[in-house]
Amino acid sequence: MRTLIFLTCLLMLAGYSEASKCGNCHGTPPTDRSHVVHSGHLSMLPKYGDTSITDDLRTFTEAYAFNCGNCHPSGPEAHRNGNVDIELFNEAASGLKALNDSSAGYDREKRKCNGVYCHSTGERLQYRFVVSPGWNREEKGSFCHECHDSPPAYPGSEKRPNGHFNVERGSGHLLGIHWDSVKGHSEDSFKDGTSSQMGCSTCHYGTVKEDRDTAFVDTVNGLFTCVRCHRLRDGLISNHSLHVNGKVDIEFAPVKFRSRAQMTATPEGWSRKGDKGKKGSYDEAVASLAIINYEPATHTCSNVPCHLEGERVKWSDRVNCGNCHVNYGGKKGR
């Protein structure tokens, strides 16, 4: 019976080269669970050998649109041969497929991919591949830390600096301003709105608008393990066009950051509601984070409301009190 169906499809597709004719034998794309996850955008036009991705189709979408050539052969010789051919590496490939490891492959028994850029930390200079979820197999929710760590905790270097968090010195962009000294990262702070948390959405607002994945585990000294207090929740991508697109997209959240009011004087560039140390009181940056300018070539931010006006801060710089507070102890520097 299968042979008859296959032969019938061969006859029907003889001479067909248009993508619209693919549906004579299979869906365009197929409607199984995993195909829908990878290529669920309704306006995508499937085409054999096409390696286009979601970012090529739309500037904003809530569904991925990875075309056929990202996972299947690029040449027509492997089409209509009675096999489901998976090709995850091709020296002549373009787009994301060109970023896959030369040993990238698909385990047909486990139904899992390995060595593919789509399931990696996503950094162009040196990324780490992870094994994909099982194709058409029920998996747990999709968590940010499965690919990126939460937050990314790779060792920093000159060409690949990391300012997300450094557990060895207890600093970086995680948890919130003065989280460790003014009770800025506590249930009361968040409930009263007196402190702001730093998460993925702070700097990647175009990609994710709600921080949900709290899986970070401090493997050095064990002091900053999020899952001690937080229930693990799925990552929440708001724009799939900017996710898995081969780029690091930076967009700052249009919010004014807050910190509990613990300083004797209101810091420059901040306003105060309430009184120092009182419950419900907080300091709020006068300007929104949306005014920040980021220079990718130098990994440098300027116009950062959380730092002194005019300060240029390089990603991964170690700052001290004088970088945010005028004449704090008579010093200013890193």
Give the tens place of pLDDT for each residue, 10-51.
433 443 344 446 677 778 888 899 999 999 988 888 888 999
Q: Is there a single domain that holds both residue 113 and residue 262?
A: no
Q: What is the pLDDT of residues 277-307, one digit of tens each?
A: 888 899 999 999 999 999 988 889 999 998 8
Q: Is there a single domain that holds both residue 50 and residue 158?
A: no
Structure tokens that stand for 2 in this block: 């299968």
Q: Is there a single domain that holds both residue 211 and residue 152?
A: yes
The whole-number pLDDT of residue 171 equals 66
Closest CA to 210 of 192, 236, 230: 236
The whole-number pLDDT of residue 241 equals 95
Q: Is there a single domain that holds both residue 151 and residue 87?
A: no
For residue 331, pLDDT beyond 50: no
- Residue that is last in its domain, among 139, 154, 175: 139
User: Domain range for residue 175?
Assistant: 143-334
* Angstrom distance (rounded) from CA 43 to CA 170: 47
The whole-number pLDDT of residue 168 equals 64
Q: Is there a single domain that holds both residue 323 and residue 177?
A: yes
- Residue that is last in its domain, among 139, 174, 206: 139
Q: What is the pLDDT of residues 197-230, one digit of tens each?
A: 888 999 999 999 988 887 887 777 777 788 888 8
* Angstrom distance (rounded) from CA 209 to CA 59: 16
Question: Is the model more confident about 257 or about 268?
Answer: 257
96-to-73, 82, 105, 195 alpha-carbon distances in Å = 14, 27, 15, 39
Question: Is the model more confident about 266 or about 66?
Answer: 66
The whole-number pLDDT of residue 107 equals 96
* Angstrom distance (rounded) from CA 262 to CA 194: 11
* Angstrom distance (rounded) from CA 276 to CA 283: 9
Q: Is there a single domain that holds both residue 168 and residue 314?
A: yes
Q: Is 111 exposed, middle or buried (0-12, 13-18, 19+ CB in 10 A)?
A: middle
For residue 62, pLDDT beyond 50: yes
The whole-number pLDDT of residue 158 equals 77
Q: What is the pLDDT of residues 95-109, one digit of tens each?
A: 999 999 999 999 999
The mean pLDDT of the chain is: 82
Closest CA to 203 of 166, 162, 157, 154: 162
Of the CA atoms within 13 Å of residue 237, those in its CB half-sphere come to 16
Q: Is there a single domain that holds both residue 173 and residue 255?
A: yes
Indicate the pTM of the whole model.
Answer: 0.85
Q: Is there a single domain that holds both residue 80 and residue 219?
A: no
The whole-number pLDDT of residue 251 equals 95
Domain count, the chain: 2
Q: What percent of the chain is modeled with pLDDT above 90?
A: 37
Q: In sequence order, what are the residues at sequence separation of 6 or more whose Cβ sits closer than 8 angstroms to the Cβ of residue 68?
A: 29, 46, 47, 48, 49, 50
Q: What mean pLDDT comes out for the span 229-255?
A: 90
Q: Is there a single domain that holds both residue 124 and residue 166?
A: no
Q: Is there a single domain that holds both residue 8 and residue 135?
A: yes
Q: Is there a single domain that holds both residue 316 and residue 172?
A: yes
Q: Is there a single domain that holds both residue 199 and residue 277?
A: yes
- Residue that is last in its domain, among 86, 112, 139: 139
* Angstrom distance (rounded) from CA 121 to CA 164: 14
The whole-number pLDDT of residue 16 equals 36
Q: What is the pLDDT of residues 114-168, one digit of tens each?
A: 999 999 988 766 788 999 999 998 777 788 888 988 888 777 777 778 888 776 6
